[in-house]
Amino acid sequence: KTAAKWINQFGSFAELVERVEEVKGKAGQNLRDHLEAVKLNRRLTEMVRTVELPKTVTDLERAPYDRKSLAMILDTLEIRNPSLRERLLAVDPGAEEAEGAPVAAPGVAVDGTVLGTGELAGWLAEHGAGQPLGLATVDTWGLGTGSVAEVALAASGGAAAWFDPSELDEADERAWVAWLADAERPKVLHNAKGAMRVFAEHDWSVAGVSMDTALAAYLVKPGRRSFDLDALSLEYLGRELAPPAAADGQLAFGADDGAEAEALMVQARAVLDLGSAFEGRLAEVGAADLLRDMELPTSALLARMERHGIAADRAHLEAMEQMFAGAVQQAVKEAHGAAGHEFNLGSPKQLQEVLFGELGLPKTKKTKTGYTTDADALAWLATQTDNELPVIMLRHREQAKLRVTVEGLIKTIAADGRIHTTFNQTVAATGRLSSTDPNLQNIPVRTDEGRAIRRGFVVGEGFESLMTADYSQIELRVMAHLSEDAGLIEAFTSGEDLHTTAASQVFAVEPGAVDAEMRRKIKAMSYGLAYGLSAFGLSQQLNIEAGEARALMDAYFERFGGVRDYLRRAVDEARATGYTATLFGRRRYLPDLNSDNRQRREAAERMALNAPIQGTAADIVKIAMLKVDGALRDAGLASRMLLQVHDEIVLEVAPGERGVAEEIVRREMSDAVDLRVPLGVSVGDGSDWESAAH
């Protein structure tokens, strides 16, 4: 305050120095005593105004930007929240595009009509006969039920229509249902599975889906971050789409019904035009057959499976949740005892202080926030100390994760007593299916706790049992086929235990002389090779010296040289072409195979080894699902497919159909594809998922 008063009094710092003797009081004397220091501080803190800068203030004004490039950056960063994306993309909505940048048009003109009652039948008769129509909806889906609030259709000539399904009269309804179910009337959708699933709630069946733009984009570029319609429209068509209207019953204050209808018609037109754009791109990557013969039929099957759901035993799952909650609390109590005081087990900082500060345990890998306390680090610490805390922490995390998993299952039990998971076709780049809401893949497969959770999935009312089926050692059978290794093929065709037969050849002993340790090592080796396992990785997995692991790997390759040659060939071919391909032509692009970064390059090499094997296995499972489902329906059976998790198929068997259903499952899965080795199929049935295990 005093300095500011002086500057105001004398007008400037220079004038203050010139007239310093006029400053009165003790403060004035202090200023005079330290005047040289004050002048030095002034020189050090004064902004230099004479430096020439590469940018002027004008240069730093907000400039036009390339919205298409920005949208792609948001995709790369996995920023998918619609409202956040909308705000980021609308920073300067009036700005013109930078010169030379790709133009992202706000939309495309459509000759749209908001159809009233009695007008849909005529519009379909005029536009829905011989040409594909793009279809977009506003709908809801959750807990096994849903409804359609709005539908838009678009034709290639620019005509488009919007209607409210609740306002259809009897003639409109008949025309709409007939057009939807007509396989000769081509339809283009984005996420056709979602539409088919919710249409079925209205008793509308869908046939003739000629293109799904989400699946097409996935086959063209499976590694992309987002398959949202707005992102694809911007990238492939140069169009920005208005965000979809809410269909969840929330009020949209200030919303313009006409604008919402137009926005949905523009979306339908974008879907149609994207379909045309992807036809050429699918042909370029050899994936047109994959879409037509595998992915589109699979999406229709998955839509039915999601509607079926699987019955759940709520009481059993609630008891499991309580058990895991008790185990978590017990682990907390034991951890406090091992530490000698209470602390927050969920706080990495507090855990680090206890482990490395108070207990003085060996330091783990250094990170930005201290020393790592992840599962691998805790497992290693458990071997380095007699203190029980690392083991307790591992148990606490495991039980907490199981509790969260079961809580999620309970929350998703619908009013019909069933869990309706959502299957995803566009998540795993290898082609495998995943599930969400809930994620059934989170349920452990080989632990007692996982088996207990699976007992909570039961046969539903009106059905006799659950049936499970999967392939035995599917990825190793694929590796035998792709590598054409005579020894591995012989091991499979002999009918004997694969790992025992392989171990007898590697260790040069009779099969009867193969002990459990030999078999374990060869099993780890066989599966590890399909995932690009190194000698070091094998040594870590088997807890043996790296030299012994290398010798084991050399002995394996000496006996199964075809496998070694195939693995080398797979990486070399992928490096040359830029991608791997499954037996059915599914590609996975791996640009990092030529990266200068060693870690990125080696990670890509491991993917190049695994993608053709895991991807081919995933394709075989999809083919098997389609064949089994088709055979069940052709036979007029009520038994139906419910789940596909970890390559396992789960069916619900109707009374009196167990024998014929099992016969169909075994036959169709065994004959799904023709490989150089037989496809081994295991089948089981029971009153719940676990008891049906085989």
Tell me the pLDDT tens digit for each residue of 169-192: 999 999 999 999 999 999 999 999
Q: Are 564 and 484 in contact (CB under 8 A)?
A: no
Q: Which two tokens stand for residue 661?
A: 């259903």
Sheet holding 465-471, edge to edge: 640-645, 648-653, 465-471, 681-686
User: Domain check: are 482 and 548 in the same one?
Assistant: yes
Are residue 256 and residue 125 in the same domain, yes or no?
yes
Number of domains making up the chain? 4
- In angstroms, the CA 12 to CA 6 distance is 8
- Claim to verify: residue 284 and residue 175 sit in the same structural domain: yes
Q: State CA 36 to chain mean position distance.
A: 67
CA separation, residue 385 to residues 336, 360, 390, 589 (Å): 17, 10, 9, 45
77, part of any domain? no
- Residue 92 is assigned to a structural domain of this protein: no
Residue-level pLDDT at 94: 46
CATH of the domain at 318: 1.20.1060.10
Domain closes at, from 361, 396, 411: 411
Cβ-proximal residues to 336 (8 Å cutoff; 6+ apart), any chain: 342, 343
> β-pairing, 457-458 with 648-653?
unpaired
Residues 523 and 592 occupy one common structural domain: yes
Residue 181 contacts residue 207 (beta carbons within 8 Å): yes
Residue 91 pLDDT: 63
Burial 412-438 (b: 16+ CB within 10 A, else e): bbeeebbbbbbbebbeebbbbbbbebb
Of 338, 343, 385, the C-alpha closest to 363 is 385
Nearest Cα residue to 298 out of 382, 423, 465, 409: 423
Say if residue 48 is in the same domain as residue 171. no
- Predicted pLDDT of residue 93: 47
Q: Which of 267, 290, 307 represents a domain boundary (last residue)?
A: 307
In this prediction, residue 13 carries a pLDDT of: 85
Residue 359 main-chain phi, psi, to 5 deg: -85, -15
Examine the domain organization and report whether 163 and 297 are in the same domain.
Answer: yes
Residues 165 and 287 in one domain: yes
Domain end position, chosen among 277, 307, 337:
307
Residue 438: asked if its preceding bond is cis (omega within 30°), the reply is yes
Residue keyed to tokens 């807890």: 543
Asked if 266 and 370 sit in the same domain, the reply is no
Q: Is residue 73 part of a domain?
A: no
For residues 51 and 30, membership in a common domain is answered with: yes
pLDDT < 70 stretches in the chain: 1, 64, 67-68, 75, 78, 80-83, 85-87, 89-108, 243-257
3-class secondary structure, 528: helix
The secondary element (H helix, E strand) that includes residue 524 is: helix 516-529
380 lies in some domain: yes
Residue 35 belongs to domain spanning:
1-65
Give the burial class of 45: count Cβ atoms within 10 A of its Cβ; 0-12 exposed, 13-18 middle, 19 or more buried. exposed
Are residues 157 and 258 both part of a single domain?
A: yes
Cα distance between residue 164 and residue 155, in whole Å: 18
Radius of gyration of the chain (CA): 33
DSSP state of 290: I
- Could you tell me if residue 545 is inside a domain? yes
Instruction: Using the structure block, give the residue that is written with the tokens 């995390």.
Output: 397
Both tokens of residue 447?
Answer: 């632990």
429 inside domain: no
Q: Which two tokens stand for residue 272?
A: 């149609």
The whole-angstrom separation of Cα 128 and Cα 121 is 10
What's 128's domain CATH number?
3.30.420.10
Query: What's the pTM value of the predicted model, to 2 decimals?
Result: 0.84
> Which amino acid appears at position 522 of this protein?
I
Amino acid at 189: L
How far apart, in Å, are the Cα atoms of 321 and each of 472, 683, 691?
Answer: 32, 30, 20
Q: Which amino acid is at 76?
A: T
Rounded Cα distance between 172 and 174, Å, is 5
Residues 275 and 329 in one domain: no
> Does residue 513 sit within a domain?
yes
* Surface-to-core class of residue 93, CB atoms within 10 Å of its CB (0-12 exposed, 13-18 middle, 19+ buried): exposed
Shared-domain flag, residues 292 and 331? no
- Rounded CA separation 345/684 (Å): 41
CATH number at residue 523: 1.10.150.20
Asked whether residue 273 is assigned to any structural domain, the reply reads yes
Residue 651, helix vs strand vs coil: strand
Rounded to 10 deg, the angle between the 213-220 and 257-284 helix axes is 40
Q: What is the pLDDT of residue 246?
A: 55
Q: For residue 250, with 0-12 CB atoms within 10 Å meaning exposed, 13-18 middle and 19 or more buried, which class applies?
A: exposed
